[in-house]
Structure 1
Amino acid sequence: MKLDNPPHKLSFSELFQWGRRPTDLLDAYTQRYGDIFTIQLPGEKPITIISHPQALEDILTAPLGTFAAGVGNEMFRPVMGDNSLMLLDGKAHQRQRKLLVPPYHGERMRLYGSLICELAEQMMMSWKVGTSVELSSCMREVSLNALLNVVFGLTKSDRSEKLREKLLLLVGVGTSAYFTFPLFFPALQKDWGAWSPWGRFLRLQKEVDELLYAEIAERRQNFQSERTDILSLLLAARDEEGQSMSDRELRDELITLLLVGYDTASTALMWALYWIHKVPEIQQKLLAEIDTVSDLSNVKAIAQLPYLTATCQETLRITPAIILAFMRVAQAPFETMGYEFPVGSRIYPNIYSTHRNQEVYSNPQQFQPERFLNRQYSSYEYLPFGGGNRMCVGNAFAMYLMKLVIFTILSRYQLTLTDTRPVNFIRRGPGIEPSRSINLLVTERRYRQSNVFVNAVS
C-alpha cells in the first residue's frame, strides 16, 4: 500500500523553522502523522521521514543496490568535493570506506587518546576558580584542535600555521547557521562580495586548497612512515588493486572529516557536560567512578568506564549530533511494513524521533544514563551515527573523544551550571545545539591524586 497521507507541503514559516528549529517540526509531525510521514519542500521532490525501528531495519539491511545515498547528499558537493565519502555510492564508496576506516581503530586510538587528554588540559589552562566558562567555545576549541592534530598532524612550519588559520576560518563559515540556507537553496550560492557568506566561503576554500595541496605534495615527497596522523596514514593506504588516493581524493576526504567531525564532536561534548551538570546525581555518580581510576594516563581504562560510557550514549540519544541519517534514494522498488516505495523515493531515517520512541525508551524526555546499563538497544532503536553501510567512519573516535575530554575535565574541576533553566534546540549543522549560551561556574579545583576536593587559590 501507499502512504495514507499526501506529502505535507511546508509553508514559508515551516520552511524557516525547518532551517532553524527542525526538532520542533519533527515532534509535531511525528505526533500528527506517526513514525512514517512525507513532507515536501518548495521546488523539491517529496521526502519520507521514518523513525519506526522495524522500517529502519528494513532500510539499513536492504541489499546493496536498493538505495543510493550519495545522490541524497548532493547539496554538500560544493563544500566537500566530488570524491567525498558522503557523495559516493557503489564500488567507489566501498573503496574509499575501506581506506578511511583503519586509522580510527587499533593501537592508533591509544596514541590519539594521550593527545586528546593533553589538549583538554591545555584548553583548561585559562580556567580559574570563581569564574565561568562558556561551554560552546571551549568544546569547539578542544574538538577542533583534536581534529587538526589527529587528521592533519600539522607541525610548526609556516605553511602549517597558515593552513591551521585558514581551516579555522573555513570551519567557522561552513558550520554557521546562515550557511545552511545556501546548501538547501542552490540559487543562493552567489558571490555578492565580502559580506556574502557564500563568497567568503569560496575565497577561503581556494586558500585552504592551495595550502592543503602543497602540504600533501610535501608529505608525498618526504614521506615519514612513523607518523600516525590520518593524512599520513591515508597517503600510505592502498586499495585492493594497489592504488593510492589521488591528491583530489585526499583533499575531499580530509575536508569532509574535518567539517563533519568538528560539528558533531563539539556539540556532543557541549550537550554531555550540560546534561551532567543539569542532573547533580549523575555528576556525583560520574565523579565516584572517575575516582576508581588510579592512573590518569591509562586511556584504555578510562574508555571502558561503564557509567561514563552510558552517559555519553544517553547524551547522543536525547540530543543526537545528527538528527537525520543520510538520505536514501530508492534504486529499486522497496517495501517496508506494508508501505510501497517506487524507484526514486527519497527516505530519511529519523534518528531524533527514533531516540524518543516511547515504546522503546521509558520517559524519553528525561536524561537517564542507567537505561544503557540495564538494556542493550538494537542498532535500529539507537543509531546516533547512522547505520548500515553509511554509518559514520569516525564513530569510535567520536565516542573516544567524548569520554576522554569529559573524564579530564571532571578530574580537574568541580563545575556548576550558572543557569538551570531548560534550553530549546536550534539547528547546528547536521545536529542541534542549545538556543542560548551554556556557562559553567568553576567552583573548585579537584586534586585527583589525593581523591579529595580542596578549595584552590586561582
Structure 2
Amino acid sequence: MVGNSSLLFANGQRHVEYRAVLGPAMRGRSLMGYRALISSVADDAIEKLSRTPTVLLLADWARSLALHIVGRIVVGGERATDSILDRYGAWVDGALGTRRKALAYRYLRGPSSLVQPWGPFIHRRAQLRRELLAEAHRCVSSGDLSLAKLLILGDHALGMLPDEELVDQIMSLLFAGHETTASAIAWTLFWLDQNPALNSDLREELESTTSDGSDGRDVPLLDAVCRESLRISPPATIAGSRILGEDGEYFGRGLPAGTKITPCIYLAHHQPDIYPGPLRFDADRFLKTRRSSSEFFPFGGGVRRCLGSDLAMMELRMVVAAMVRQVVFVCPNPKQGVPQQRGPAMGLGRNVRMEMSRR
C-alpha cells in the first residue's frame, strides 16, 4: 500500500535522513504555517452541515476530513487535489474498510490479471501513484508549499529522489497522516457526546477565548480531553518493535540479545495502578499532570516516534474546537462505539452514527 521504499520502513542512515528532512516541517514554528489550512478545510466540512440535523457515519466523516487536510499538506494544491484524494480514500477503504476486505487484501493475493480482489487493487494503486506524482510536480511549479516539494527539490541529505521513491513517500505520508488522526477525531467527538457535562465545560472554555486550539496551553481542558481520548482509545495499539542489542533483564525476566519486544500502547494506557478506573473517560487525568513517556505514548517513542505527532495533536485540537463551537452533535447508537481494526490502526466502529446540526 505504501511502497517498498517507504520511509515507514526505512532503517539506519536513510531513516535518520528522512527524519532530518521532514521532521522540522512538522513541528515547532513550522506548525503555525498549517493553521489557516486546517481551519479552512475544517470550516468547509462544517459548512456543508445543514441547520437541520444531518446523520453521518462519524468515522467516515472524520476520515474524509483528515485526508483532505493532510493531502493539502503533503501534496499541495487546492480544489484540484480533492478529487484525487477522494479516489485515494475510496481505494484505502476498499482494502481496509471491513474485516472481510482487510483479510482479502492480506491473504487473497495473486497475479494482477485476476479479477478479484488483487487485480483491481494493483490497477488503482498504479493510477493513483501516477496522479499523485503529477499533482506533486504541478504544485511545485506553481509555487505551492508542501512536504512533497521538500522532497522534490533535493537540496538535502536525501538528494534527488527517483520518482518511484518519491511517490512511495507521498503514499506513506497520506496514509500515516490521516488514518490515525481521523480515528482520534472520531473517538474524541464520541467521548464528548458520552460525557455531556464535560462537553458543556469544554464549550464554556472555548467561548471564553478566541484561541483556535492550535496551542494547547491556551485551552487546557481541550488539550486534556484530546489526550484522554488518545489514552483510552489509542489509534495505534502497538508501537514499533525493538530488537535487544544485548542480554538484559526486564521485569524480572532474563531476555537474550536478539529478542524482539513490542510495546503495547493500549495496555500501557490501561494500567489501573497508573490510571485508576482505566475504562472511565476522565480528562482530569491530564489537567495539571504531565505523564511520563512510559505511561503515555500514543505516538510511539524513541527514534521511531511518529514524525507528525505535533501536527496531529494540533489538528485534533483545532477540529474538535471548531466542532464544539459550531455544531450540536448527538450519537443515536452509542453501543456501536467499539474499536474496529483498519490495517495497523484501531478506529471507531464504522457504524457509529452522529446526528449533527450547526448551532
TM-score, normalised with respect to structure 2:
0.89
Q: Hey, what does 1:233 align to over in structure 2?
A: 150
Contact 1:108 1:228 in 2 (8 A): no
Q: Which amino acid aligns with 2:130?
A: E
Please state how far the C-alpha of 1:120 moved relative to its aligned partner: 1.5
Cα deviation, 1:171-205, whole Å, max 9, x if unaligned, reads 323433345336765xx322476762332221111
- Separation of aligned partners in 2, 1:327 and 1:91: 18
Deviations 1:101-135 (A, max 9, x none): 12112443223122112211211223234424321
Residue ranges of structure 2 left out of the alignment (5+ in a row): none
- Tell me by how many angstroms 1:382 deviates: 0.4
1:202-351 superposed matches below 5 A: 202-218=122-138, 222=141, 224=143, 227-236=144-153, 238-240=155-157, 243-294=159-210, 298=212, 300=214, 304-330=218-244, 332-351=246-265
1:379 deviates by 0.4
Q: Does 1:181 align with 2:98?
A: no
Taking the aligned partners of 2:92 and 2:246, their CA distance within structure 1 comes to 37
Rate the CA distance shift 1:414–1:289 in 2: closer, same or farther, 3 A. Answer: same
Contact 2:76 2:136 in 1 (8 A): no
Cross-structure match for 2:71: 148
1: distance between equivalents of 2:84 and 2:284?
A: 43
Pairwise CA distance, 1:259: 1.1
TM-superposed CA distance for 1:232, in Å, is: 1.6
Matched, 1:172 2:93: yes
What is the count of residue pairs matched by the alignment? 357
TM-score, length of structure 1 as denominator length: 0.71
One-letter amino acid matched to 2:305: M
> 1:369 aligned to 2:283?
yes
Give the whole-Å Cα distance in 1 for the aligned partners of 2:327 and 2:135: 39
Matched-pair contact (CA < 8 Å) for 1:320–1:384 = yes
CA displacement at 1:284 relative to structure 2: 0.9
- Find the aligned partners of 2:248 and 2:3 in 1 and give their Cα distance: 30
Question: How far apart are 1:290 and its partner, in Å?
Answer: 0.4
Note the aligned Cα RMSD (angstroms): 2.6
1:286 positional shift:
0.5
Give the C-alpha shift of residue 324 in structure 1: 0.8
Q: C-alpha separation between the residues in 2 aligned to 1:435 and 1:223? A: 40
Q: Is the 8 A contact 1:115 1:146 kept in 2?
A: yes
**Distance in structure 1 (CA, Å) of the matches to 2:94 and 2:258:** 33
Q: Structure 1 residues 169 and 183 mapped into 2: Cα distance closer, same or farther (>3 Å)?
A: closer
Whether 1:82 aligns to 2:25 is no
Give the direction of change, closer, same or farther, for the CA distance of 1:415–1:161 in structure 2 (3 Å limit): closer
- SS of the residue corresponding to residue 80 of structure 1 reads coil
Shift of 1:140: 1.5
* Compared CA separation, residues 115 and 382, structure 1 to 2 (3 A): same
How far apart are the structure 2 equivalents of 1:368 and 1:126? 32
Q: 2:13 aligns with which of 76, 87, 91?
A: 91
SS in 1 for 2:280: coil
Match for residue 118 of structure 2? 198
Tell me how far apart the structure 2 counterparts of residues 247 and 368 of structure 1 sit (CA, whole Å).
Answer: 47
Deviation at 1:167, TM superposition (A): 2.1
Distance 1:143 1:395, change over 3 A: same
Partner deviation per Cα, 1:273-318 (whole Å, 9 max, x = no partner) = 0000101111011001001123x6x554577310000000000000
| Unaligned segments of structure 1, at least 5 residues | 1-78, 447-458
Q: How does 1:127-138 map to 2 (within 5 A)?
A: 127-134=49-56, 135-138=58-61
1:121 aligns with 2:64: no
Is the 8 Å Cα contact of residues 277 and 283 (structure 1) preserved in structure 2?
yes
Identity of aligned residues (%): 25
How far the C-alpha of 1:156 sits from its partner, in A, is 5.0
SS of 1:370's partner is helix
CA distance in 2, matches of 1:308, 1:127: 23
The 1:397/1:300 distance shift into structure 2, 3 A limit, reads: closer
3-state SS of paired residue (1:101): helix
**Is the Cα contact below 8 Å between 1:327 and 1:346 reproduced in 2?**
yes
